[in-house]
A = this chain, B = another copy of it.
Amino acid sequence: MAPEILENPSNTREEIMGATLATLLEHGYADLTIDKIGDEFAKSQSLIYHHYDGKDDLVLETLEFMLEAFRTKSIEGPVEEPRDALEEVVDQLFERSIDDDERQSMAALFELRAQATHDEAYRSHFNRSDDVFEDLIVDIVEAGIDRGVFQPCNPEGVAATLITMINGTIMRRSTSEDDEWVGDVREEIESYLEACVYAE
């Protein structure tokens, strides 16, 4: 979730997505309604009803837009410093402490993902989202092996492991204020990367 992408909307569609995201973060998915999104939107609510069929239609378009923005930004060029790049991923995703806004973003993301258990459109989005993050990490690991700074390891395995850790962290952080375990987990991830991924 990167709300800043929608902070400077360049057209009505982006304004609507910005309002959707802001409302989702404030109220959570369970309490999200189109009327509440309309309250957050500066222009006429009828524009929302004109363009979208319901709250899920709005949420899914917003998720897709943010994923695409992330993907475009992340494939800017070859990975020059694979170890720095992987450490940056770990830094960003396993922060030892997060503020209330970040926890709220994670909880919203987690609630949306739970929709994927019974809603095909959410399922398809989150499978694509896992693939995008996995490809990003696979590229980093492959670059590391090519440059000889990583051991000969399985890039897909390393990527799937980190994605699984990230998803598990989002799940637990969304449902507990206790973050003590995150520092411990992060140290274990670093031990794993030192032992099984980085070259000596």
User: Interface residues, chain A, CB within 8 Å of chain B?
Assistant: 28, 30-31, 107-108, 110-111, 113-114, 116-118, 122-123, 126-127, 130, 134, 154, 156-158, 160-161, 163-172, 174-176, 178, 181, 184-185, 187-189, 191-192, 195-196
Contact call B113/A175, Cβ cutoff below 8 A: yes
Partner of A185 from B113, B160, B169 at Cβ < 8 Å: B160
Partner of A181 from B117, B118, B160, B168 at Cβ < 8 Å: B160
CA distance A5 to B51 in the complex (A): 50
Partner of A192 from B113, B184, B195 at Cβ < 8 Å: B195
Q: Chain B's nearest CB lies how many Å from the CB of A55?
A: 15
Q: Chain B's nearest CB lies how many Å from the CB of A65?
A: 20
A181 proximity list for chain B (CB < 8 A): 134, 156, 160, 163-164
A166 proximity list for chain B (CB < 8 A): 168
Contact call A188/B117, Cβ cutoff below 8 A: no
- Most B CB contacts (10 A, CB to CB) among A31, A126, A157, A158 go to A157
Contact call B171/A113, Cβ cutoff below 8 A: yes
Q: A110-B117, A117-B174, A168-B168 are in contact. Are A196 and B185 (CB under 8 A)?
A: no
Q: List 13 A-B contacts (CB under 8 A).
A: A28-B117, A30-B118, A111-B117, A113-B114, A117-B175, A163-B172, A165-B168, A167-B167, A167-B172, A168-B168, A168-B171, A192-B196, A195-B195
